[in-house]
Structures are given as structure tokens and as C-alpha cells.
A and B are shown apart, each in its own frame.
Chain A
Amino acid sequence: MNFPKKRCVAMLLAGGQGSRLLVLTENTAKPAVPFGGKYRIIDFPLSNCVNSGIDTVGILTQYQPLELNEYIGNGQPWGLNRSHGGVSVLPPYARSKKSEWYKGTANAIYQNIPFIERYDPENVLILSGDHIYRMDYARMLAFHESRDADITIAVRKVPMEEASRFGIMNTNPDDSIYEFEEKPKHPKSNNASMGIYVFKWSVLKKYLVEDENNPNSDNDFGKNVIPAILADGGRMFAYHFDGYWKDVGTIHSLWEANMETLGLHPAFDLNGGEGRIYARNYALPATYIDTHSKNVNCLIAEGCEIYGDIRHSVISTGCRVGREVKIEDSVIMPNVVIEDGAIIRNAIIGEGCHICSGAVIGGTFREDEQRQISVLGKNHRIEINQVVKPGEVL
């Protein structure tokens, strides 16, 4: 069958083991980690794709793909249940001789060249599955095409003193990139790569094949492929983005990003801006708020029963919060039961946990102290009056 050529196919790198998220990714791929009360991290790049008019998305995953597979399903919640295109979850190919894991980010795309070729795209958008942000990729794509670029890399300004923690793009006045430095000791600029790339597919394919044939390569975009294209004098441009963007690859940043959704004018407004964030919704009744509960500056999703007090926290779908419970500065993931009198502060409580009455989780911190987040993995049970210390991870 002949289908029209696609202008752009998106490939979402969801395969990272996410070990810095500790227990939260023990049985869950990082992109499937809950966020913001009713979302999962992957909802953000997926919704961005849909809102940007990109209707073909490949999700590359290898660690704990079951839950992610089930969550994505046929892509209907994101409007990605298309007959040609739509969303596909792409595990590593089981080859006839050996089952081959994705060796690096570039190798993951290399292994899926046949998938991309089916759509005969002009461009390929490479995304990462652990960022929280809202972005119109169509504008980046238009920029990329207007410069006739081989690669366009999205960058954002970071404070100069933090620049040495990032991949830094050094640019000419016309935004063309003349140098790429990975975590430079003495950064020349503060344009940090966001891990979002648009490639001309013909160029990317050529370099992927070359990279694969180089036994010394780590098969990584940042380390190998991009430097190789730059070394050959490829047309590489920086696309500036100044909206909210957060890598939620660590416990602290995940907690912080959740907190940044709170407030009347939050740093990251789930509700505002261009483009709605879509998620798989479950059939849950509206939330009940009891007369004894007091909720201040918090988000509470549907399907909850709230009898206790909640301050500056995110409560996800299907939670039960008992009487005289106190929750502060915390993220409660879906389907958590918190019995009467439990206290939770500065914590992330994983999906399906059960906190028995009188338990105390986490602590409080002065402004000048380093906050230590207590974390409970999925389906953990905390017994009556059990204490989980500040920063403790179970």
C-alpha cells in the first residue's frame, strides 16, 4: 500500500533504567512513573506530539515494559490510534541468533530503522521520556526546515554556574552550532541541550549505520553521533526554548516538579498554556471531601475520599485519606490508602501503598536545610505507628 510521506516521525527514548528514581522504577519503566495527580511522565512528550501535529510516535523501551505497554495500549487517549502511524511500543528486536538489548540511544534508533522507513519521513524527532514540559514541536520543525538543518537541537539557558552539568552548545550569531561540549569544566556559553533533536532522516540514517559499524562507539547520540556529524561539517542549529522544562530523573527533581504544579499561578500550570495534556483516564467517581478535612494549596484528583488535612501536596487518583491524617509537601501516587492519624511530610508515596494508622513518614526542614525526601516504592505497606525517617527509601 502507498501511504503519503510523513513530514516527521517522533522516536521517544523511554528505555532508561531510571536507577536514580530508586524504588519508584523497580517494577516500572521511568516514563510510566506517575506525575501531577493523574498523569504519567510519558503523557507530556506524547501530548506535545499530538498537539504539534505529529501523528506517528515510536516508543523505545526495554526495562519493565509491561506496565508501559498496557498504559499506552492502542494510543486512543492521546488520539494516536491511527491506521497509518499512531503510537507503537518498540522493544528491542529478538534476533534469530541472539536477543539484542539496546546498547545506547543511537543503537535504539538504529535497531528501529525499518520502523522509521515504513513512514518514509523527511525528519525524525528524538525525544526523551523523562522530561516534564509543554512544547510545540511544530515550531521547532519549522525552524529546522527554514535553516535546511541536518540537526536542530533544542536548548535552554541555564545559570552560567550550573552550565558545567549539561551538554553545552556553543553557537554563532545565526544559531548555528560550531561546538558541542559535554559537561565542560569551563563552559563558553549557557545553552544547555534539552535532549530534543530534529534530524533530517537521510542524514541520521547514514550516521546511525556508520556509528553501528564503529566497534569503539558507545552508540550514544550525545557522545558519538552528534560529534561525528559536527566533525563532518554538518549543518547544526540550536533552537531556543524558554518555557518550563524539567528533567525528572532524580527523586528530588521529581518531587520538585510535582510541587511546581501547585499554586494559583504555578511554575508549571498543568491546566494552562497551549495544548492540553492527555492521559489514560480510568472510570472513577468524583472525589469526596469530608467536612473534617482541610485542604490548602493542593491538587486532588478524581476517585479519592478525603477525610484528613492536606497542605501543599499532590494527591493522585483513587486515594483514601483517613481522619486526622496530615499530609504536607508530599506526592501521593495513585491508589494509596492512608489510615487515620498517619502523618506524611516531604515524601513520595508510590502507587498502591497502604499506610496504617499512626504511621509517621518523613520530616520537616528549615529553609536553609537540604530537604530529604522519604520514598516508598509501589505497593509498600507501612504498619501501625511505624516511623519512616526523613530521606529513608523503602
Chain B
Amino acid sequence: MKNVMALVFANIYDSSLGQLTNKRTLASLPFGGRYRQIDFALSNLSNAGVRHIGIVTQYNYQSLMNHIGAGEEWDLELEEGGLEYITPYSMGISTTFRGKLEAIYAATKSFLAIGKEEYVILADAAVVCAINLDEVIQAHIDSGRDVTVVVKSGIANGQKQLDLAVSLDEDGEISDMAVDYAAPSEFLASMGIFVMRKELLMEAAEACVAHNRYRFERDFILQDWADGKLSVGAWEFGDVAFFNESTEEYFRNNLAIIDRNIRHSLYRDDLTIYTRVRDQVPTYYGEGSEVDDCIVADGCTLLGRVENSVLFRGVRVSTGAVVKNCVVMSRSEIGIGAQLEYCILDKEVRISAGVKLIGTPEHPVILNRGDVV
């Protein structure tokens, strides 16, 4: 058993994805044709041999639990270790967690303290990537620092507000740190992955919560680093990582995996991404179908034209329909001759024959689960 346990944050902040997260956590948001966002965090951990995982979730977690269950798909259904859900109400707390520190504190007695592991790794389900966490863990141990944070360049752009961003000097040492800030592009964004000794995390959570400090990045990492009490190292990740924190990003990033290089960076032979299995038949491509540059999951029936789109399982595109630049979730049906461009269809949406819906890349048309148009 690996000497590391993990906490995965499923939905500390869900508000920015609006209607897509009305009835599900950010973690269980479908991504890339057959995954939920949390599959990536769980698979990264499982691939690194981390098999003792607490999933912190606050509300709307039914779809998450349905998806993950006992974690069999990730090899997490173990006698010892395995998977636990950490929710406010199961911890004797009658309000939601205001920030990660409150959640960590709530998880201390029932989860963190019980584990025999020496280290803990924190991960964020909203960041989609395939990362070798073994390398991160080893680098952290070798560095002798208190905390290692995984960072990525190219995310900070002066507009996107980040939980934590750092700038590095020539030696790769953190020279500046900013929280809740639209950092300029020379900053590197935190990917929400932190490694540290478990004792340190538990003590910090207790001390912080006692002083009404509940934001992990702001009240612990930044403050203690600025006060010289905490040594923090940055580990730079060079491959593809998606931060799906707004509808626009979610839409853009789903379509981005159509690109071969991006797709192959996310779906690597050496880092398998696991997900809940659904028994679906292979997809059927009919006589008049025309499918160009698409990601297509199993169980679809494609009779019309689909271009530059991501189709989840069991989607039906009827004869004469045109679907362009769309993300279509499971079991949605597009009627004869309908035309869709720049749309996100949540699950089980039905588009009637002849309907025309045109969004824009910045503002895709979003249809809620079960909508009939």
C-alpha cells in the first residue's frame, strides 16, 4: 500500500457552471464523450497506487455517488483503505463547508487520522489532466519541503481568476504567490494538486479553522508562506490540463480534445483513465451519415451530418439533421432535419424535427437535462 492518502474536492465551488451543475457536482459533469470530470483525478491517483481516497462533496452528490459507487472501476473497492465520501451532514456539521480547510478539518478525525499513511495528496475534480502523480510524490519527498503544489503555465492570462497562482524565479523557486486573482500570463496556475505530510495538514486545518480561516489557498498556503512559516515548492506540469470552471471553458475544452495532440496527451497509453462502465452497443453509422472530426462514444445511431462535435453515449442524430460544433450528452435525440450549431445538450434532450438552434463559441446554447425543444 502506498504511503499516501488523498482528498479529492468534488464541488467546493460549483456556481460558475450555472445550469450544467444545477443537479450534479462539477466532479460528475460529463467530459470528453465518455467520462465524468472526476474520472481523471481518481484515475491519476489510482494509477499512482494511491488507493485510500476521501471525496469531499457538499451537495447534489447523488449523481456522483451513482457514478463512482464503491470505486470498483478504479480498483478502490478495498477492505482496507478504499473510498470514502466526506459530506458536511455526515460529519455532524449542519452547514456546508465554506472552504477546503473546513472540509479537511471535518475529515480529520473520521478519515485522515485513521489512515496509516504518512503523506496526503489533495486534488481538484474540476481540473482535467492525465498526470503521473508518482513523480510528483517522489519529487516532494526528495525536496524536503513542507508543501509541493503542481502548477501549469499558459492558464493565467490576466482575465481568469485563479484560486492560486505563483511566479517562479530562474531556479524554479516560488518568488510570488497570488490568490483569487486574475494573474498575468507570466504566472503559473495551481492545478489544485498539493502534496504534504498528513500531520502538517491536520494541524494546519485545526489551527486555521480555530481562527476563522477556511480558504486553503488564501488562509493557509499563501499566508503561512508569506509569514515564512511554510516552505512551498512548485512542480511544473507540461502536458494538457483543462480548468473547466465556466461554461465557456467547459464547452471549449470539450471540443479541444478533437485535436489529435491534445487528445493523445489526455488519453495516454501509460496512464489509463477509468470510468464507470455502461453496457452499450457499438455506434451505428447509417447509409446517409456524414461524420467529420468528431469524438463519438458507444451506443449512438448516426444518420445525419455531425461535424466537429463530441457525442456521448446513446445519442441519436436523425436523417437530414446537422450538428456542428456541439457537445451532446448521453441519450439526447436530434430530430429529422434539425440544425444545431454551438450548443451544449445535457442528457436526454430531445430536439424535434426541423428545429434550428444556433449559439456562438462564447455563448453556446445550453439545454437542460430532459428538455424538449
Chain A window 276-290, contacts with chain B (Cβ cutoff 8 Å), 1 for yes, 0 for no? 111101010111111
Interchain CB contact (< 8 A) of A288 among B34, B290, B295: B295
Whether B270 sits at the interface, judged by CB under 8 Å, is no
Check A298–B285 contact: CB distance below 8 A: yes
Contact flags A293-307 to B (C-beta < 8 A → 1, else 0): 111111111100000
A290 in contact with B297 (CB, 8 Å): no
* B297 and A302 contacting across the interface, CB-CB below 8 Å: yes
Per a CB cutoff under 8 Å, which of A270, A289, A298 touches B281? A270
Number of B residues near A (Cβ < 8 Å) is 42
The answer to whether A291 and B282 touch across the interface, beta carbons within 8 angstroms, is no
Contact A286 B272 (CB under 8 A): no
Q: Size band of the A side of the interface?
A: 35 or more
Asked whether A132 is an interface residue with its Cβ less than 8 Å from the other chain, the reply is: no
B89 touches A (CB below 8 Å): no
Measured between beta carbons, the chain B residues less than 8 angstroms from A271 are 281, 299
Among A37, A276, A283, A298, point to the contact of B73 (Cβ < 8 A): A283
Asked if residues A278 and B33 are in contact (CB atoms below 8 Å), the reply is no
Chain B residues, Cβ within 8 Å of A300: 282-283, 285, 296
Q: Does B287 contact A (CB under 8 A)?
A: yes
What is the CA–CA distance of A271 and B301 in the complex, to the nearest angstrom? 10
CA distance A24 to B326 in the complex (A): 41
Q: Is B293's CB under 8 angstroms from A290's CB? A: yes
| A323-B295 Cα distance, complex, nearest whole Å | 17
Is there an interface contact between B281 and A286, defined as CB atoms closer than 8 Å? no
List the B side residues contacting A270 at CB < 8 Å: 281-282
The residue among A287, A295, A298 with the most chain B CB atoms within 10 A of its own CB is A287
A289 touches which of B72, B267, B292 (Cβ 8 Å): B292
Q: For the complex, is B284 an interface residue (Cβ under 8 Å from A)? A: yes
Is A222 in the interface zone, CB < 8 Å from B? no
- A283-334: which residues lie under 8 A (CB-CB) from chain B? 283, 285-291, 293-302, 310, 314-316
Interface status of A36 (Cβ within 8 A of chain B): yes
Instruction: Write the chain B residue with the least CB distance to A301.
Output: B282
Tell me the smallest distance from the CB of A62 to a CB of chain B, in Å. 29
Instruction: Give Cα distance in the complex from A264 to B319, angstroms.
Output: 12
Q: Which residues of chain B are within 8 angstroms of A352 by Cβ–Cβ distance?
A: none
Q: Please, which residues of chain A bring their CB within 8 A of the CB of B307? A: 291
- Chain B residues near A298: list those with CB within 8 A: 284-285
- B310-337: contact bitstring with A at CB < 8 Å (1 yes, 0 no)? 1110000000000000000000000000
Residues of B within 8 A of A131 (CB): none
From B33, B263, B294, residue with most partner A Cβ within 10 Å: B294
Is B32 in contact with chain A by the CB < 8 A criterion?
yes
- What residues of chain B lie closer than 8 Å to A289, measured between beta carbons? 291-294, 296
Contact: A286 with B295, CB < 8 Å? yes
Partner of B275, one of A77, A283, A291, A299: A283
Task: Classify the interface of chain A: helix, strand, loop or mixed.
Answer: loop
Complex: how many Å from CA A321 to CA B273? 22
Residue of B nearest to A299 (CB): B282
CB nearest neighbor in B for A269: B281
Task: Check B258–A288 contact: CB distance below 8 A.
Answer: yes
Query: In the docked arrangement, what's the CA distance between A264 and B37, Å?
Result: 33
Of residues 229 to 271 in A, which have CB atoms within 8 Å of B's CB atoms?
262, 264, 270-271
Contact status A288-B272, CB under 8 Å: no
Indicate if the CB atoms of A291 and B292 lie closer than 8 Å.
Answer: yes
Known: A276-B279, A285-B267. A297 touches B285 (CB 8 A): yes
Q: How would residues 98 to 129 of chain A score, 1 for a CB under 8 Å from any chain B CB and 0 otherwise?
A: 00000000000000000000000000000000
**Contact in complex: B286, A264 (CB < 8 Å):** yes
Closest to A286 in B: B33
Chain A residue at smallest Cβ distance from B293: A291
Given A281, A283, A295, which contacts B279 in the complex, CB threshold below 8 Å?
A: A281
**Does A38 interact with chain B (Cβ within 8 Å)?**
yes
A287 and B295 form a contact (CB under 8 A): yes
Across-interface contacts of B293 in A (CB, < 8 A): 289-291
Chain B residues with CB under 8 Å of A77's CB are 277, 279
* Residues in B neighbouring A315, C-beta threshold 8 A: 282
Tell whether, in the assembled complex, residue A299 and residue B283 are in contact, meaning their CB atoms are under 8 Å apart. yes
List the B side residues contacting A281 at CB < 8 Å: 277-279
Which of A38, A262, A291, A293 touches B298 (beta carbons < 8 Å)? A38
CB neighbours (8 Å) of B258 from chain A are 288
**A297–B294 CB distance below 8 A:** no
Q: Report if A379 contacts B (CB, 8 A).
A: no
What A residues does B311 contact at CB under 8 A?
Answer: 286
Max chain B C-beta neighbours (<10 A), residue from A38, A298, A302, A315: A302
The CA-CA distance from A77 to B277 in the complex, in Å, is 9
B289 and A283 form a contact (CB under 8 A): no
In the bound complex, CA of A262 to CA of B72 (Å): 33
In the complex, what residues of B have CB within 8 A of residue A314's CB?
282
Q: A38-B282, A276-B279, A285-B32 are in contact. Are A297 and B292 (CB under 8 A)?
A: no
| CB of B52 to closest CB in A, whole Å | 21
Does A76 sit within 8 A of B, measured CB to CB?
A: yes
Q: CB distance B298 to A301 under 8 Å?
A: yes
Q: Which of B73, B289, B296 contacts A286 (CB 8 A)?
A: B296
B187 within 8 A of A: no
Tell me whether A295 and B285 are in contact (CB under 8 A).
yes
Least CB separation from A288: chain B residue: B295
In the complex, chain A residues whose CB is within 8 Å of the CB of B281: 36-38, 270-271, 277, 299
Within 8 Å CB of B35, what residues of A?
285
> Does any Cβ of A come within 8 Å of B194's Cβ?
no
In the bound complex, do residue B285 and residue A296 qualify as a contact, i.e. CB atoms below 8 Å apart?
Answer: yes
> Which B residues are CB-close (under 8 A) to A76?
72
Nearest-neighbor residue (CB-CB) of A296 within chain B: B287
Residue of chain A at shortest CB distance from B307: A291
How many whole Å from A226's CB to the nearest CB in chain B?
Answer: 35
A286 in contact with B279 given A76-B72, A295-B285, A299-B284 (CB within 8 Å): no
- In Å, the complex CA distance between A294 and B277 comes to 28
A34 and B232 alpha carbons, distance in the complex (Å): 52
The 22 sampled A-B contact pairs (Cβ below 8 Å) are A36-B281, A37-B281, A37-B282, A262-B284, A264-B303, A285-B34, A285-B267, A286-B33, A286-B295, A286-B312, A287-B295, A287-B297, A288-B260, A295-B289, A296-B285, A296-B287, A297-B286, A299-B282, A300-B283, A302-B297, A302-B298, A316-B282
Given contacts A270-B282, A271-B281, 20 further A-B contacts (CB under 8 A): A37-B281, A264-B301, A264-B303, A270-B281, A277-B281, A283-B73, A283-B274, A285-B33, A285-B266, A286-B33, A288-B258, A289-B292, A290-B293, A293-B292, A294-B290, A296-B285, A296-B286, A296-B289, A298-B285, A302-B297
Interface residue ranges, B against A (CB under 8 Å)? 32-35, 72-73, 258, 260, 263, 266-267, 272-275, 277-279, 281-287, 289-299, 301, 303, 307, 310-312
Across the A-B interface, the 3 shortest Cβ-Cβ residue pairs: A286-B33, A37-B282, A301-B282
